[in-house]
């Protein structure tokens, strides 16, 4: 039996007889919306002087582009949490009057810690329904009340990134103190690296970030493919007996913390090598660890493909750092009884 799957991003996946599970493929993945959304905010704060190549075509990124160029009184962020959080800080820093809202599900996602931090700086923000949640109304107000703010970084790294990106535009710059365990630290590092690429000096220590008043420089951003999406391709390889998959537009040493996918799936027999256009992942022999454990606090988007891999291979697993998946509206714990999966929230 021969199966062939194709779509706009895949040049083809060929699978031979299911007993052998031999797989060969050449794929181009979507570009990173995390990099794209940061590049769009930085571009807007720079006066739209940046050049962005390979911008993601994800719904969130398309929506962010639309809202950044809109003069409407209301910004409906639909289901896009990143868009809502980044725009909340952006509209405050640019002193725009806006009502920010979203879908019914989005109105259940907390924003109170970011709003509190912005109010400390002088923002004029009012909740229009439930305290701590959208919708909110922003009125023009100078963020010059003070230049220091503390924020609980355990709920979302996006709150921190939102503050970081507006910091160079503030009259006194900004010193951010991070409290509690930091969630998704690599995304904060991504923000810092993209700001540095744009000419901004960012001083990072263990629990503080200091950014002085500066100007963003005209920057050429080339968006890499999405390592989070690549994890599902690695999962396919891990569940195969024999696989060779070329991912043409995925580059090593990216801004993305989810590049740790390479190291995780090495434990399941999936090897990664580089070629001129991207990477090649291969699996030629069965490798099933007796026990697997990992803390996903910094890389929550990898939890599901890794958990499914453990379940599919009947690997006893102990996965930690999953509490923020609940905030992302995954309401129930992961359970793969065949693999003996244990989860901790």
122 and 214 fall within a common domain: yes
Cα distance between residue 124 and residue 133, in whole Å: 15
62 and 206 fall within a common domain: yes
CATH number reported for the structural domain that contains residue 122 in this entry: 3.65.10.10
Query: In terms of Cα–Cα distance, which of 326, 108, 181, 327 is closest to 343?
Result: 326
Q: Which residue, of 221, 242, 259, is where some domain finishes? A: 221
Task: Please tell me the predicted confidence (pLDDT) of residue 326.
Answer: 56
192 and 51 fall within a common domain: yes
Q: Which of 42-46, 156-160, 312-316, 324-328 has the highest mean pLDDT?
A: 42-46
Residue 243: pLDDT band by 50, 70, 90 thresholds? Answer: very high
Mean pLDDT of 187-194: 95
318 and 196 fall within a common domain: no
Higher pLDDT, 328 or 7: 328
123 and 206 fall within a common domain: yes
Task: Please tell me the predicted confidence (pLDDT) of residue 4.
Answer: 35
Mean pLDDT of 247-276: 91
Q: Is the pLDDT of residue 108 over 80?
A: yes
Mean pLDDT of the chain: 87
Q: Which residue, of 194, 221, 248, is where some domain finishes? A: 221
Burial class of 4 by CB neighbour count within 10 A (0 to 12, 13 to 18, 19+)? exposed
Angle at Cα 286 formed by Cα 283 and Cα 291, nearest 5°? 115
Q: Could you read off the pLDDT of 147-161 as tens digits, one per residue?
A: 999 999 888 899 999
Rg (CA), the chain: 21
301 is catalytic: yes
Euclidean distance between the first and the last CA atom of the chain, given in angstroms as a whole number = 43
Task: Please tell me the predicted confidence (pLDDT) of residue 32.
Answer: 94
Say which residue the tokens 């008043």 belong to.
213
193 and 270 fall within a common domain: no
Instruction: Please answer whether residues 235 and 245 qualify as being in contact, where contact means their C-beta atoms are separated by less than 8 angstroms.
Output: no
Q: Could you read off the pLDDT of 76-102 as tens digits, one per residue?
A: 999 999 999 999 999 999 999 999 999
Q: Is the pLDDT of residue 2 over 90?
A: no
Q: Which residue, of 221, 255, 285, is where some domain finishes? A: 221
Mean pLDDT of 132-140: 97
92 and 216 fall within a common domain: yes
110 and 146 fall within a common domain: yes
Cα distance between residue 3 and residue 345, in whole Å: 39
41 and 10 fall within a common domain: no
Mean pLDDT of 215-231: 94
Mean pLDDT of 230-237: 95
Higher pLDDT, 10 or 50: 50
Instruction: Please answer whether residues 175 and 189 qualify as being in contact, where contact means their C-beta atoms are separated by less than 8 angstroms.
Output: no
280 and 266 fall within a common domain: yes
The total number of structural domains that make up the chain: 2
Task: Please tell me the predicted confidence (pLDDT) of residue 37.
Answer: 98
138 and 185 fall within a common domain: yes
User: Mind spelling out the 3-state secondary structure of the chain?
Assistant: CCEEEEECCEEEEEECCCCCCEEEEEECCCECHHHHHHHHHHHHHCCCCCEEECCCCCHHHHHHHHHHCCCCCEEECCCCHHHHHHHHHHHHHCCCCEEEECCCCHHHCCCHHHHHHHHHHCCEEEECCCCCCCCEEEECCCCCCCCEEEEECCCCHHHHHHHHHHHHHCCCCEEEEEECCCCCHHHHHHHHHHHHHCCCCCEECCCEEEECCCCCCCCEEECCECHHHHHHHHHHHHCCCEEEEEECCCCCCCCCHHHHHHHHHHCCCCEEEECCCCEEEEECCCCCCCEEEEECCCCHHHHHHHHHHHHHCCCEEEEECCHHHHHCCCCCCCCCHHHCCEECC
Write out the residue range of the structural domain in which residue 193 sits: 33-221
62 and 169 fall within a common domain: yes
What pTM did the predictor assign? 0.84
Q: Could you read off the pLDDT of 47-87 as tens digits, one per residue?
A: 999 999 999 999 999 999 999 999 999 999 999 999 999 99
Q: Which of 73, 171, 301, 318 is catalytic?
A: 301
CA atoms in the 13 A half-sphere facing the CB of 138: 32
């Amino acid at each position: 039996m021969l199966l062939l799957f194709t779509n706009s991003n895949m040049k083809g996946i060929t699978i031979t007889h299911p007993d052998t599970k031999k797989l060969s493929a050449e794929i181009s993945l979507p570009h990173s919306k995390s990099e794209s959304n940061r590049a769009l905010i930085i571009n807007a704060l720079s006066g739209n002087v940046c050049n962005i190549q390979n911008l993601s075509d994800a719904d969130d990124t398309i929506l962010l582009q639309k809202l950044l160029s809109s003069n409407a009184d209301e910004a409906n962020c639909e289901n896009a949490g990143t868009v809502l959080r980044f725009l909340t800080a952006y509209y405050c820093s640019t002193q725009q009057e806006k009502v920010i809202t979203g879908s019914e599900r989005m109105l259940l996602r907390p924003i109170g810690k970011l709003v509190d931090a912005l109010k400390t700086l002088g923002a004029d923000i009012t909740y229009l329904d439930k305290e701590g949640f959208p919708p909110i109304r922003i009125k023009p107000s100078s963020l010059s009340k003070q230049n220091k703010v503390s924020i609980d970084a355990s709920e979302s790294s996006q709150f921190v990134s939102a503050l970081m990106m507006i910091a160079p535009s503030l009259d006194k710059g900004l010193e951010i103190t991070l409290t509690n365990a930091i969630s998704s630290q690599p995304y904060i590092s991504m923000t810092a690296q993209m700001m540095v690429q744009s000419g901004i000096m960012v001083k990072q220590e263990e629990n503080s970030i200091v950014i002085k008043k500066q100007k963003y420089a005209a920057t050429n951003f080339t968006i890499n493919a999405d390592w989070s999406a690549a994890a599902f391709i690695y999962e396919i390889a891990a569940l195969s007996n024999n696989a060779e998959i070329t991912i043409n537009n995925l580059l090593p040493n990216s801004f993305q913390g989810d590049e740790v996918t390479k190291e995780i799936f090495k434990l399941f027999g999936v090897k990664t090598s580089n070629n001129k256009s991207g990477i090649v992942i291969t699996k030629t022999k069965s490798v099933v660890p007796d026990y697997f454990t990992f803390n996903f606090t910094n890389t929550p988007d990898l939890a599901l493909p890794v958990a499914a891999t453990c379940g599919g291979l009947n690997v006893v697993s102990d996965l930690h750092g999953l509490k923020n998946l609940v905030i992302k509206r995954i309401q129930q714990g992961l359970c793969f009884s065949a693999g003996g999966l244990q989860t901790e929230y």
